[in-house]
Amino acid sequence: MSLAHRPLPTTLAEFLAWEERQELRYEFDGFATVATTGGIRAHETISVNLLVALGSRLRGGPCRAYGSNLKIEVPGRIRYPDASVTCGEPGAARDAVERSPVAVFEVLSEGTQTVDRMDKAREYRETPSVRRYVTIEQARAAATAYARAGDALDRRPPVPGRQAGHARDQRRDPARRTLRRPRPGRAADGHGLGAWPSAPCRRGQSSRRHGARWGFPS
């Protein structure tokens, strides 16, 4: 006996209902479903370090960091970023979709970097709540951020670092140099997301003293 073929979802509402029944995770790019695959050791190491750094810097404040298991909704699409930050009142414990992220992080990989740098940058630009979008390199200790400026997300210069694999790099997460608190007297936006760091931590400089200048309210 043949089974009736169920067509794949073509709308956001159809996708959300369909994905709840799946064993694997899928993104929805506005046209079709896209299966998400596991990452390599380097990708996972950076992702874990990023979450630890975010959790440490946001502790005690109104913002929270989430990992790659929480999907976010952007206009007409669903994405699973490597990390995201929300501020304000937390949603219900059983919520599976975040609709108002203020910062989104992606660890670049060979197979997804084009989508991360082009498609997702455009999608996050069209999501008003997103104040920062940050891509983190795997091959070297560097990150690039896009900062909200009106209706646009302006690309900031890459944050340089040492080559990946250096012992000191393992103790320095690129996310620590991504956002910092605004300097005294400098205006910040509604979420307290302020100045862009001009340089990474210098040798011997405390990461807490320099890296604690994050763009999130405390």
Q: pLDDT 10s per residue in the chain (218 long)?
A: 333 335 678 888 899 999 989 988 899 988 888 888 777 899 999 999 999 999 999 999 999 999 999 999 999 999 999 999 999 887 778 888 999 999 999 999 888 889 999 999 999 999 999 999 999 998 888 899 999 988 888 887 555 554 443 334 434 433 333 344 434 333 333 333 333 333 333 333 333 333 333 444 54
Task: Say if 105 falls within a structural domain.
Answer: yes
Tokens of 168: 């000191």
Task: Say if 103 falls within a structural domain.
Answer: yes
User: In angstroms, what CA-CA distances link 174 with 7, 45, 61, 142, 168?
Assistant: 42, 12, 21, 6, 12
Give the closest residue to 101 by CA, choosing from 163, 191, 209, 200: 191
Task: Say if 19 falls within a structural domain.
Answer: no
Give the closest residue to 63 by CA, choosing from 100, 107, 92, 105: 100
pLDDT (0 to 100) of residue 34: 87
Task: Say if 87 falls within a structural domain.
Answer: yes
- Which residue range(s) make up the domain with 157? 40-177
How many structural domains is the chain composed of? 1
Task: Say if 166 falls within a structural domain.
Answer: yes
Q: What is the pTM of this model?
A: 0.69
Give the CATH number of the domain where residue 96 resides.
3.90.1570.10
Task: Say if 156 falls within a structural domain.
Answer: yes
